[in-house]
């Protein structure tokens, strides 16, 4: 498969480089280049491909990236806490729910093998720092994907770092001046999970997910989504949850539109609010794929539009943090501050990861531990521990340099979109739901694929340019 792919990829790259692009084809060529830029970083390409606009990594770096990601996934599947073995996500949930500080420290320390697969001994020869040198050179040559993602959403050029630091400052005002240990941060923001997480059993995950999708008018789409989310013997390791479309939306022989059929992959060994949020998030991606009405060549959103794509998923995922959702599906509800601490505790870690990549790709000689320590002390109120590589727990840092910014950007977009939907349609989380919600969101946001620039889609839907104001306003509520 690898040999066949390489042969076709090189031949196609040569044809693409020689193609005389007409103005009417620009969007199509952007879509092709976006897809290839992602595919060229996967394990199917071994060696350097010169295609005029695309150059993959050197073979040794590509192999290191593939090997590191595989080891990261394996380490994340087997976190040993005393006699217990759990996956990485379950360990992170345990940090939010474990009342004993010593046991929280034990869970935190048990994830060190994950850090070591990424950062080794933390020195210049660590796997991550070798990979960083390669991606930093690519950013210097081709431009920052973080900047591209921000401007694709309509943010002013050069404003993304300043905006994210402003968001972190607002979050620190919510948390207050005291510092907490890194193994206590998720507990400090996890009161919601402790109050309600026990009401979400593993068996309830799909039940709540499916019922909520139906309440939003996705009845016809839900049967077409395949969920592969439960552990089973012999199942390949899935380091991070993801959703793909197995085909394109299209018109059938009978003239009837056939939506794409999405497939959700994740591994949920237990329940909890965190896993419920992630499952709804992936269902949001599935609903997005099913709503796209663009021609096949423009079906897949551009890589640079990742902030909008992730926001479409968070539209559903963030419902977990709404009291009305909790009362309806869990039989109890937390207060406004607990809900916002639960919602934004993880988001602000994503903001720190985004800024970590920005800073390290600007100066790849800096120690990741030092940069992470500065960001988390200032923005999250976490005690400095520059001796610990606890930042190295996200697979995207390995296989998708710059992608973490999309999660941070999606928080801006999600806040703005949710505020706009409430202004136009009211609340969709009451006892009766909103059966017209999915059609409304699909028509205004989801159907375009790569056929229309993300900034234009957002501007039309929001009635103006994207700003951080809705997110900052929401944080101000939590700050009192």
Helix extents (H) in 154-222: 160-175, 185-188, 191-196, 202-215
Q: How far apart are the first and last CA of the chain?
A: 57
What is d(CA 321, CA 344) in angstroms, rounded to the nearest whole number? 10
Nearest to 361 by CA among 115, 147, 140: 140
Count of beta carbons in the 10 Å neighbourhood of residue 236:
7
What is d(CA 398, CA 396) in angstroms, rounded to the nearest whole number? 5
Please tell me the predicted confidence (pLDDT) of residue 315. Answer: 95
57-80: average pLDDT: 88
32-38: average pLDDT: 76
Q: Is 84 helix (H, G, I), strand (E, B) or coil?
A: strand
The CA angle 394-192-90, to the nearest 5 degrees, is 35
List, in order, residues 6 or more apart from 125 with CB less than 8 Å away.
none
Please tell me the predicted confidence (pLDDT) of residue 43. Answer: 46
What is d(CA 344, CA 474) in angstroms, rounded to the nearest whole number? 10
374-433 pLDDT, tens digit each: 999 999 999 999 999 999 999 999 988 998 999 999 999 999 999 999 999 999 998 789
CA trace torsion 219, 225, 226, 229 (10° rounding): -80
259-282 pLDDT, tens digit each: 999 999 998 988 999 899 999 999
What is the H or E stretch that residue 227 is in? strand 226-228
What are the two backbone dihedrals, phi and then psi, of residue 302, each rounded to the nearest 5 degrees? -65, 150
User: Exposed e or buried b for every residue in 98-121, given b needs 16+ CB within 10 A?
Assistant: beeeeebbebbebbebbbbbbbbe
16-24: average pLDDT: 82
Answer with the residue of higher pLDDT: 7 or 299.
Answer: 299
List, in order, residues 6 or more apart from 127 with CB less than 8 Å away.
64, 68, 117, 118, 119, 120
What is the H or E stretch that residue 337 is in? helix 336-362
In what order do the strands lie in the sheet containing 242-245?
A: 226-228, 262-265, 242-245
283-293 pLDDT, tens digit each: 999 999 999 99
What is d(CA 376, CA 168) in angstroms, rounded to the nearest whole number? 9
Pairing of strands 226-228, 262-265: parallel
416-449 pLDDT, tens digit each: 999 999 999 999 998 789 999 999 999 999 999 9
Residue carrying structure tokens 């309806």 = 328
Answer yes or no: pTM beyond 0.85. Answer: yes
Cβ-contact 79, 354 below 8 angstroms: no
pLDDT bucket at 42, cuts 50 / 70 / 90: low
Strand partners of residue 180: 382
Cβ-contact 391, 353 below 8 angstroms: yes
Q: Is 258 helix (H, G, I), strand (E, B) or coil?
A: strand
What is d(CA 391, CA 397) in angstroms, rounded to the nearest whole number? 10
Please tell me the predicted confidence (pLDDT) of residue 56. Answer: 59
What is d(CA 366, CA 373) in angstroms, rounded to the nearest whole number? 12
Q: Is 180 helix (H, G, I), strand (E, B) or coil?
A: strand
What is d(CA 168, CA 285) in angstroms, rounded to the nearest whole number? 27
Average pLDDT, the chain: 90
Residues of the chain with pLDDT > 70, as a percent, come to 96
pLDDT bucket at 50, cuts 50 / 70 / 90: very low
Count of beta carbons in the 10 Å neighbourhood of residue 409:
28
The CA angle 11-451-294, to the nearest 5 degrees, is 90
Paired tokens of 74: 């394996």
């Amino acid at each position: 498969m690898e040999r066949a792919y390489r042969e076709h990829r090189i031949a196609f790259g040569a044809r693409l480089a020689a193609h005389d692009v007409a103005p009417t084809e620009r969007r199509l060529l952007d879509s092709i280049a976006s897809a290839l830029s992602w595919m060229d970083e996967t394990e199917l390409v071994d060696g350097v491909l010169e295609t005029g606009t695309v150059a993959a990594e050197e073979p040794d770096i590509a192999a290191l990236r593939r090997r590191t990601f595989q080891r990261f996934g394996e380490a994340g599947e087997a976190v040993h806490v005393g006699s217990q073995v759990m996956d990485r996500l379950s360990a992170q949930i345990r940090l939010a729910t474990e009342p004993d500080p010593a046991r929280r420290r034990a869970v935190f320390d048990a994830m060190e093998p994950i850090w070591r697969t990424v950062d080794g001994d933390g020195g210049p020869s660590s796997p991550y720092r070798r990979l960083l040198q390669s991606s930093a050179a690519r950013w210097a040559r081709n431009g920052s994907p973080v900047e591209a993602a921000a401007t694709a959403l309509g943010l002013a050029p050069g404003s993304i770092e300043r905006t994210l630091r402003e968001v972190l400052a607002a979050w620190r005002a919510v948390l207050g001046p005291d510092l907490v240990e890194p193994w206590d941060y998720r507990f400090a923001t996890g009161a919601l999970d402790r109050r309600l997480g026990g009401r979400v059993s593993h068996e309830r995950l799909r039940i709540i997910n499916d019922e909520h999708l139906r309440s939003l008018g996705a009845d016809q789409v839900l049967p077409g989504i395949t969920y592969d989310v439960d552990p089973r013997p012999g199942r390949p390791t899935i380091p991070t949850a993801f959703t793909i479309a197995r085909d394109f939306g299209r018109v059938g022989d009978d003239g009837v539109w056939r939506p794409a059929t999405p497939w959700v992959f994740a591994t949920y060994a237990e329940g909890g609010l965190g896993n419920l949020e992630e499952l709804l998030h992936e269902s949001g991606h599935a609903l997005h794929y099913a709503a796209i009405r663009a021609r096949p060549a423009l079906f897949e959103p551009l890589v640079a539009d990742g902030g909008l794509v992730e926001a479409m998923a968070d539209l559903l995922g963030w419902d977990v943090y709404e009291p009305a959702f909790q009362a309806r599906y869990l039989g109890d509800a937390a207060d406004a501050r607990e809900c916002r601490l639960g919602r934004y505790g993880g988001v602000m870690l994503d903001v720190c990861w985004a800024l970590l990549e920005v800073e390290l790709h600007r100066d790849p000689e800096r120690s990741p531990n030092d940069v992470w320590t500065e960001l988390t002390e200032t923005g999250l109120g976490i005690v400095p521990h520059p001796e610990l590589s606890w930042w190295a727990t996200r697979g995207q840092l390995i296989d998708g340099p710059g992608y973490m910014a999309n999660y941070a950007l999606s928080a801006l977009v999600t806040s703005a979109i949710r505020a706009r939907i409430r202004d136009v349609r009211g609340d969709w989380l009451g006892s009766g739901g909103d059966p017209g919600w999915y059609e409304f969101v699909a028509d205004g946001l989801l159907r375009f694929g790569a056929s229309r620039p993300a900034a234009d889609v957002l501007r039309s839907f929001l009635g103006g340019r994207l700003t951080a104001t809705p997110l900052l306003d929401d944080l101000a509520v939590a700050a009192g």
